[in-house]
Amino acid sequence: MRHVYVKVKLGDPLKRKVKEVRMLANTGATYPCIPRELAEELGLRLEFKTKVTLADGREVEAWYATAYIEITGRGDLLPVRVFEVEEPLLGVSALEALGLAVDPATGEVKPTRGFIARA
């Protein structure tokens, strides 16, 4: 399967600042991961530091923040990890929360169920 990129509306919890961001739909990542510069641009509150384990087994410190994430009209407030990443990653927790999944046959993000939450 090729890399799957998704257009995501990413913003602060009150949606005062929202930006469309191209994110890699990484089903190997648990949480969405964004660089600190993007978190600062959106005015996200960095709440506390936590440790995350990278795909190569390294442990790094990352900030925990809450962001508004919307994909294909489905949006909610979700946890993100903020640290130095090469590109913004969309983890499986965000996809699950929004009722979405990567279809391995087409490489597209598709609904898996109905969605009623709106933030």
Convert the pLDDT of each residue in 38-68 to its tens digit. 999 999 999 999 998 888 889 999 999 999 9
Give pLDDT tens digits for 62-118.
Answer: 999 999 999 989 999 999 999 998 899 999 999 999 999 888 788 888 888 876 655
Contact 30, 95 (CB under 8 A): no
- Work out the angle at residue 97's Cα, subtended by the Cα atoms of residues 79 and 56, and round it to the nearest 5 degrees: 60
Output the pLDDT for position 55: 80
Residue 119 has pLDDT above 70, yes or no: no
pLDDT band at residue 1, thresholds of 50, 70 and 90?
low
* DSSP letters spanning 23-82: EEE-TT-SS-EE-HHHHHHHT----EEEEEE-TTS-EEEEEEEEEEEEETTEEEEEEEEE
Distance between CA 14 and CA 60 in Å, rounded? 29
Q: Which structural domains are found in the chain, ordered by start?
A: 5-111 (2.40.70.10)
Instruction: Pick the closest to residue 87 from 40, 27, 35 (CA basis).
Output: 35
Q: What is the pTM of this model?
A: 0.88
